[in-house]
Amino acid sequence: MEEWLHINVKGAAVPEADVVILGGGSGGYACALRASQLGLSVVLIEKGKLGGTCLHRGCIPTKALLHAAEVADSARESENFGVKATLEGIDMPKVNSYRDGVVSRLYKGLQGLVKSRDVTYVEGEGRLTSPNTVTVDGTDYTGKHVVLATGSYARTLPGLEIGGRIMTSDQALTLDYVPEKVIVLGGGVIGVEFASVWKSFGSDVTIIEALPRLVAAEDEAISKAFERAYRKRKINAKTGVQFQSATQDDNGVHVALDNGETLDADLLLVAVGRGPQASGLGYEEAGIAMDRGWVLVDERQRTNVPGVFAVGDITPGLQLAHRGFQHGIFVAEEIGGLHPRPIADINIPRVTYSEPEIGSVGLTEAQAKEQFGDDAVSVYEYNLGGNGKSQILATTGFIKLVQRTDGPVVGVHMIGARIGEQIGEAQLIVNWEAYPEDVATLVHAHPTQNEAMGEAHLALAGKPLHAHA
Ligand SMILES: Cc1cc2nc3c(=O)[nH]c(=O)nc-3n(C[C@H](O)[C@H](O)[C@H](O)COP(=O)(O)OP(=O)(O)OC[C@H]3O[C@@H](n4cnc5c(N)ncnc54)[C@H](O)[C@@H]3O)c2cc1C
């Protein structure tokens, strides 16, 4: 235990805090940092590592792998740019040590932040023993408010046991070799992300998805373009097909599908979603309303029990780190009496990190038509073929705008290499309810991919520049 951690003395009396937070992931630590900034006394309880899933087993390590994958692709394709280089192979232990270096620098920084903000950090497994008490190792931590932030875990399917060659993202991140052949079960964000990394590292990859398309939560046009891009990369995808069973032996893993097909590979990655880590922690006993394991909250993150809030992945909705940060900050400000404005899930930016990337925020075309009516929605797609920087990067794709006719832009959907970086402006446009004419008057630097955002709005405002009317 590090010297700055709060030392538990079993049974010792601990003064009541303003806020007791259970779970030190994105949601929990953001809440702790903001609450202490507001002058509230804070106890933050974490059984594993401060930073949670995102920092240690999620966002950060996977994006480091994706960057290494991009470097591999650049070496492989260098000749296209007149550069003589060859890809000799992937040294997975070195990739992992680069990745671990990134994580450990951020971890150190975060520990320093929490320490500097005067948060009482308690290392240990907590349990809600009354609506205002969390007990760790026999010591009660009582708070005027309690924030539940215990996050999520990687799910599997009934009868599909994790172990050996069958793994979730947790084990996949610890591999010290590149598998020759992989099956990825699930074509959502985590599945396609790993598929992208492994393909760039040289694996033969097949994705199995029960829904009719990959990244099915995205606008249909994006999803179709994504499938085309994966086909071009020779990533196999079997959509609209159900997994039936898997067995493993010394030779590999053998997967049976409901269409009678069987597939063999070295590994099976199970990426079928994440479930709430909320059972057995005393929540039900304290009277917290739950639905299939999720902690239910209102739009102000309040559970049904007065004084108890919940944030991040244990609440139903998008499972994203920045949603957790936002929830955490929101709850701290709510407790601090600042009456913050809630942000609906639909307006939280989403990025699928892969080659190509997807960035989206707001309503898809189908959702907008359902909400406003077919005739009340205008759509424009700006092709990256007309964008200088995208040509330089040799990427294809588009930015699709969904507008409430004669009204604001209610959805931005993008696909292309590195296009996730454009999500910043996209989310400002949607959240500030900008009209195409508002954005069209703003200047976008040349040559950037960001220009495509400006061009799309110029076109929707009726004055296209580098696009046909
Ligand atoms: C492979 C992968 C890639 C991802 N990539 C991205 C991405 O690129 N961008 C993005 O936005 N999101 C990404 N995510 C999702 C992101 O990691 C989560 O949305 C985020 O971590 C949720 O934060 P949280 O605070 O709700 O939960 P968590 O981060 O899971 O934190 C919960 C914490 O609570 C602790 N805890 C649980 N029970 C107890 C207990 N009883 N006592 C004490 N402590 C306890 C846990 O140890 C954990 O540290 C990814 C996830 C995965 C798995």
Q: Tell me the pLDDT of the chain (469 aa) as tens digits.
A: 343 444 444 555 678 999 999 999 999 999 999 999 999 999 999 999 999 999 999 999 999 999 999 999 999 999 999 999 999 999 999 999 999 999 999 999 999 999 999 899 999 999 999 999 999 999 999 999 999 999 999 999 999 999 999 999 999 999 999 999 999 999 999 999 999 999 999 999 999 999 999 999 999 999 999 999 999 999 999 999 999 999 999 999 999 999 999 999 999 999 999 999 999 999 999 999 999 999 999 999 999 999 999 999 999 999 999 999 999 999 999 999 999 999 889 999 999 999 999 999 999 999 999 999 999 999 999 999 999 999 999 999 999 999 999 999 999 999 999 999 999 999 999 999 999 999 999 999 999 999 999 999 999 999 999 887 6
Question: 3-state DSSP call for residue 172?
Answer: helix
Judge if the upstream peptide bond of residue 356 is cis by omega within 30 degrees of 0.
yes
- One-letter amino acid for residue 301 of the chain: Q
Within 10 angstroms of residue 179's Cβ, the number of other Cβ atoms is 20
Amino acid letter, 354: S
**Ligand 1 contacts CB of residue 46 (under 6 A):** yes
Q: For 356-460, CATH number?
A: 3.30.390.30
Q: Residue 53 CA: which ligand 1 atom is closest?
A: 29
Ligand 1 pocket test target in 34, 56, 59 with most atoms within 8 Å of CB: 59
The verdict on the CB of residue 24 being under 6 Å from ligand 1 is yes
Q: How far is CA 320 from CA 40, 58, 59, in A?
A: 26, 10, 9
The catalytic site residues sit at 446
Return the residue whose CA atom lies nearest to atom 37 of ligand 1: 150
The answer to whether 17-56+95-153+275-346 and 356-460 have equal CATH topology is no
Q: Does ligand 1 come within 6 angstroms of the Cβ of 197?
A: no
Pick from 333, 287, 342, 357: nearest CA to 69:
357
**204-209 and 236-239 strand pairing:** parallel
Helix and strand totals (H; E) in the chain: 13, 24
To test the pocket of ligand 1, the residue of 53, 55, 99 to mutate (highest count of ligand atoms within 8 Å of its CB) is 53
- Residue 43 to residues 113, 121, 144, 322: CA-CA distances in angstroms? 15, 6, 11, 22
Asked whether 84 and 78 are in contact (CB, 8 A), the reply is yes
Beta bridge partners of 429: none
**Nearest protein CA to atom 49 of ligand 1, as residue:** 52
Q: In terms of CATH, what superfamily is 166-272?
A: FAD/NAD(P)-binding domain (3.50.50.60)
C-alpha 312 – ligand 1 centre gap (Å): 8
Q: Which atom of ligand 1 is nearest to the CA of 314?
A: 26
Judging by DSSP bridges, how do beta strands 274-276 and 204-209 pair with one another? unpaired
- Pocket of ligand 1 contains residue 275 by CB under 6 Å: no
Q: Where exactly are the structural domains of the chain?
A: 17-56+95-153+275-346, 166-272, 356-460
Residue appearing with tokens 């699930």: 186
* DSSP code string of 96-128: HHHHHHHHHHHHHHHHHHHHHTT-EEEES-EEE
What per-residue confidence (pLDDT) applies to 7? 43
Name the CATH code of domain 17-56+95-153+275-346 (choices 3.40.640.10, 3.20.20.70, 2.60.40.420, 3.50.50.60): 3.50.50.60
Contacts of residue 29, defined as CB under 8 A and 6 or more positions apart, other chains included, come to 44, 50, 51, 52, 110, 114, 328
**Closest residue CA from atom 52 of ligand 1:** 58
Q: What is the DSSP letter of 287?
A: T
The residue with tokens 């994958």 is: 69
CA dihedral (157, 276, 66, 60) positive or negative: negative
Contact present, 211 and 243 (Cβ < 8 Å): no
pTM of the model: 0.95
Q: Alpha helices, DSSP H only, in 58-212?
A: 59-76, 92-116, 169-172, 189-200
Helix, strand, coil percentages, rounded to 5, for the chain: 35, 25, 40
